[in-house]
Structure 1
């Protein structure tokens, strides 16, 4: 099957991103999913696919009505992805993994439900921002998709209790970058003893003023 240049590039970006995340242990087995916006629908990884072994031709192509046009069976989280795209026109890519330290954070206890981690590093503040916790529901639960859609315009992502992060951004690559920064911050937080203090109000204000940080 042949694809136009833009779609072929997006398929390749999904595969490269998936392989990178898998190789570095951000996801294991067939966990996680990635999607990208098209002018007339979306690309999304197939259900039960290993992100480390994606074939560009197997990535599901879905039309605006949610019907599969080509490729494998879409991930069971398709409704979640569609809800974010419908609510936020700037979003071009979404990444969901079961990253170890972020899942562990939900088991050990997040900083708060509105902010799963405190603002302990400048890059966490600039590249990620506020990330709320969504309490556990089974994978693919439509209620989760609705909850996430309602947050799509105000944050860059959410953390699903016992399941892991969902991040959205202006491209698949940028969504993965934000997810990686979130996972690294969780790792730093869990490994620190005593826990570090958050950046103070003056430091946060400077990051907002100089870099346009959303905190």
Structure 2
């Protein structure tokens, strides 16, 4: 099996896993992988992540033009902007996962750090997650909003829409997206209960021990 064929199968396998666990319903969500030649593999438009066909996955060249496969997702500008600003990114996962979407609608959310440091793994896998204002799905303006973050965030939450997470591998992007959803679920369960967060010193210990790169000003924010 060629490397590209293996990557196509990988997109389908992870897409099916995300769909079967209810993390992205219907034909929502999309996955992309950056290839060594600068092109991409990306899930097609109006395709359920649970039923992707490896042969029909969209193949784009380095300029974003369709080379083969079905018409790609309309969220291409979103993916392109995140790849452009996160040079190390090799895969991006965008879902409409319920708890993350719910958190994106709450009035107290800090756009610089949507979720507080509830667990070590949310810090390790997601760092801080930025909130991007609402844009119509597929609106090219969302790309400018992503670029405005200057590559500081690998994890972004689109208001009233869903998470977009970049990783150095598809596995890494999927795991980080799942961690974001579980942290959002925890936050909703604990909201207004005054839970004990990780302290700034505990977050700094994780940063030092695991060599994490967090956005500036990320710390122990008040999420009343």
Runs of 4+ in structure 1 off by over 6 angstroms are: none
Partner of 1:140: 138
* 1:4-153 aligned within 5 A: 5-40=2-37, 41-151=39-149, 153=151
Q: 1: distance between equivalents of 2:2 and 2:108?
A: 43
1:126-205 equivalent positions in 2, closer than 5 A: 126-151=124-149, 153-192=151-190, 194-205=193-204
What is the Cα deviation at residue 110 of structure 1?
A: 4.9
Question: Could you tell me how far apart the structure 2 residues matched to 1:110 and 1:148 are?
Answer: 21
In the alignment, the residues of structure 2 paired with residue 62 and residue 110 of structure 1 have an alpha-carbon distance, to the nearest angstrom, of 39
Report deviation, 1:21.
0.4
**CA distance 1:46–1:135, change in 2 (3 Å):** same
Calculate the TM-score normalised by the size of structure 2. Answer: 0.90
Query: How many residues are paired up?
Result: 212
If the length of structure 1 is used for normalisation, what is the TM-score?
0.94
Distance 2:2 2:151 in 1: 29
Note the C-alpha offset of 1:205: 1.7
Secondary structure of the structure 1 residue equivalent to 2:116:
coil
Q: Gaps (5+ residues) in structure 2? A: 215-224
Deviation (angstroms), 1:113:
1.2
Shift of 1:83: 2.0
Q: What is the RMSD of the two structures over their aligned residues, measured on CA atoms?
A: 1.4
Equivalent residue of 2:105, what SS? helix
**Structure 1 Cα separation of the partners of residues 105 and 130 of structure 2:** 15
Query: Does the 8 A contact of 1:115 with 1:131 survive in 2?
Result: yes
